Amino acid sequence: MRPTSSTPAPASAPSKSGVLINRNFALLFFGQTLSVVGDFVFNTTLVLWIAVLLAKGQTWAPLAVSGVLLAAAVPVLVIGPLAGVFVDRWDKRATLLRVSIFQSLVVVALLALSGIVPLPFVAGGRLPLAWMLGAIYAAVFLINAGTQFVGPASLALVGDIVHEPDRPRASGLTQVVYALAAIAGPPIAAPLLFTLGVQWALVIDALSFLVLFVFGSAVRAPKAATSVAAGERGHFWRELGQGIAYFFRSRVLVGLLLGGVIAFFGAGALNALDVFFVTNNLHTPALYYGLVGGAQAIGVLLGAIVFGAFTQRIGLVRVLWLSLFLTGVDLLVWARLTSLPPALVVIFISGLLQAGLNVAVSPILLNTTPRALVGRVLAVLQPVLTLASLLSIALAGYLDSTVLVGFHAELFGVHFGPLDTIFLVAGAVIVLGGLLLRLLLGGVDVSGAHMPPDADVPAQRAAQASSATASG
């Protein structure tokens, strides 16, 4: 791979295509929109397929569904830390295209095994149930393994085709994609499954990867920064070590990591127990549980639009720490609620604040990370955040199921039970996390104006300047 010596456009480069910034970002935006909707359809379909059809009436059905979540999480922890090295070596656009084809082929293989046509090598033409579940888990694992390459490559590609002051807007538009997919994907999945069969959902997901390939092929990006110069052989462990060293020397990146761990800690508790909170504390039938997720998704959608438009004016760091701080306050309020209507307002606000966090993170990361190190920086960040979320889910479930069973207390006439106590602690931790981010990053320049001149050359040279870059 050849290292590029091209420098991104200056920070003052104007937008050329209005709302979608420029032609290249518009192409990537539309390709990712359809791809992410396909992913949500696929993920929802798999859960319903296993729970309602394959494992219908079986006591082990919840465990089988959990297997999908585990198969999706393992690649983040196992492959994610390693993928960044290769993403930094390779051309980012080419990586996006090749992995999209790979993911599409994985879905096609699962489609072939799903019984759409009789399998000649299997008695009865269909896989036994255990083998079918294994095929589903393998497909989920492989697709999410590909995502560990696509995610960093996409972020680096956005950094190549979008420059300041448009990066917060690009980040906001990306959040719009995920919010729209979260709103539209699951409602599409159920009717498809029960009226047309699982095969159509698989076809849609396979086509969505191909759509991303087509739109991505039309993107014209500058030569990507690569970490290994032409004629040089890469050294995996040395390159990985350089990425880790750069990350932990950067005050900004360490701040993002700490803030992210704290945010995911609180979110993990909420994700693990919110269904029980709705039925027990909010005294609401489980039938209306979907309204909570819908209100939050609408909040994310509106927040992505608002923060995408105004984050640059407010300031990236200010939006980041204030969003985290107010998320903690919002969770403290949520913990004391006892009915659904005000809860929908509070969870809507949490969606707004979540969008603020997400919109601020990507520009900060791109502005403070050399182009040839984006993959390895994400390879540190994402697995740690995933692990924090998994540990939080496990801890919250454990506390509610064992230590706090039957817990009741009163303080100054206010009653406390197990779920609201867990949420109060999580909210307080998040509030402190927001204040910690304010302390760590307040006054730090995250505009990218002080990126060293060798930020676009191989990481062997860029890493040498990491100390100076870290202090921003």
Q: Assess whether 336 and 189 both reside in one domain.
A: no
Q: Assess whether 208 and 315 both reside in one domain.
A: no
Say which amino acid occupies 396.
Answer: A
Q: Assess whether 367 and 452 both reside in one domain.
A: yes
Write the CA distances from 257 to 3, 244, 290, 433, integer angstroms: 28, 12, 31, 11
pLDDT over 70 percentage in the chain? 88
Question: Taking all residues of the chain, what is their mean pLDDT, rounded to a whole number?
Answer: 83
pLDDT at position 241, please? Answer: 92
pLDDT at position 197, please? Answer: 81
In a domain, 280, yes or no: yes
- Identify the top-confidence range among 216-225, 320-329, 393-402: 320-329
For the beta carbon of residue 70, count every other beta carbon within 10 angstroms: 13
pLDDT at position 450, please? Answer: 55
* CA–CA dist 19, 221 (Å, integer): 19
* CA–CA dist 91, 3 (Å, integer): 9
Rounded to 5 degrees, φ, ψ at 113 are -85, -10
Q: Assess whether 201 and 278 both reside in one domain.
A: no
Cβ neighbors of 401 (< 8 A, separation 6 or more) are none
- Arithmetic mean of pLDDT, 217-238: 83
Q: Assess whether 202 and 260 both reside in one domain.
A: no
In a domain, 11, yes or no: no
- Arithmetic mean of pLDDT, 405-412: 79
pLDDT at position 246, please? Answer: 94
Range of the domain at 169: 21-224
- Arithmetic mean of pLDDT, 315-340: 94
* CA–CA dist 254, 250 (Å, integer): 6
- Arithmetic mean of pLDDT, 242-247: 93
Could you tell me the two tokens for 378?
A: 């994400």
Q: Assess whether 210 and 302 both reside in one domain.
A: no
Say if CB 34 and CB 219 are below 8 A apart: no
* CA–CA dist 328, 433 (Å, integer): 9
* CA–CA dist 45, 56 (Å, integer): 14
pLDDT at position 51, please? Answer: 80
Q: How does pLDDT run across 259-316, given as a tens digit for each residue?
A: 889 888 878 777 778 878 888 889 888 777 778 878 888 999 999 999 988 998 899 9
Domain boundary residue, one of 224, 253, 277? 224
Place 13 in a pLDDT band, splitting at 50, 70 and 90.
Answer: very low
In a domain, 15, yes or no: no
Bridge partners (DSSP) of residue 415 are 410
- Identify the top-confidence range among 27-36, 97-106, 231-240, 449-458: 97-106
Of 324, 394, 330, nearest to 358 (Cα)?
324
In a domain, 214, yes or no: yes
In a domain, 232, yes or no: no
- Arithmetic mean of pLDDT, 88-109: 94
pLDDT over 90 percentage in the chain? 39
Q: Assess whether 188 and 327 both reside in one domain.
A: no
Question: Which DSSP category does 163 fall into?
Answer: -
Distance between start and end Cα atoms, the chain: 29
Alpha carbon 85 to chain centroid distance? 19
Q: What three-state secondary structure class fits 125?
A: helix
pLDDT at position 119, please? Answer: 67
pLDDT at position 140, please? Answer: 92
Domain boundary residue, one of 224, 250, 273? 224
pLDDT at position 125, please? Answer: 60
Could you tell me the two tokens for 66?
A: 């959990």
Residue 149 in this model has a pLDDT that exceeds 90: yes
Q: Assess whether 177 and 248 both reside in one domain.
A: no
- Identify the top-confidence range among 19-28, 285-294, 312-321: 312-321
DSSP string, 197-234: -HHHHHHHHHHHHHHHHHHHHT---PPPP-SS-TTPPP
Bridge partners (DSSP) of residue 410 are 415
Cβ neighbors of 339 (< 8 A, separation 6 or more) are 282, 283, 284
Residue 98 in this model has a pLDDT that exceeds 60: yes
Bridge partners (DSSP) of residue 414 are 411
**249 versus 14: which is more confidently predicted?**
249
Q: What three-state secondary structure class fits 69?
A: helix
Domain boundary residue, one of 174, 193, 224? 224
| Total domain count, the chain | 2
pLDDT at position 227, please? Answer: 81
In a domain, 43, yes or no: yes
Which ranges of 369-417 would DSSP assign to H, the alpha helix? 374-398
Q: Assess whether 189 and 268 both reside in one domain.
A: no
Place 463 in a pLDDT band, splitting at 50, 70 and 90.
Answer: very low
pLDDT at position 360, please? Answer: 92
Rounded to 5 degrees, φ, ψ at 167 are -65, -40
Q: Assess whether 216 and 281 both reside in one domain.
A: no
Q: Assess whether 466 and 365 both reside in one domain.
A: yes
Q: Assess whether 212 and 261 both reside in one domain.
A: no
Among 111-120, 289-298, 391-400, the least confident range = 111-120
Cβ neighbors of 308 (< 8 A, separation 6 or more) are 168, 169, 170, 171, 172, 173, 175, 176, 359
Q: For residue 145, give the CATH number of its domain.
A: 1.20.1250.20
pLDDT at position 123, please? Answer: 61
In a domain, 233, yes or no: no
In a domain, 334, yes or no: yes
Question: Which DSSP category does 452 fall into?
Answer: -
pLDDT at position 6, please? Answer: 35
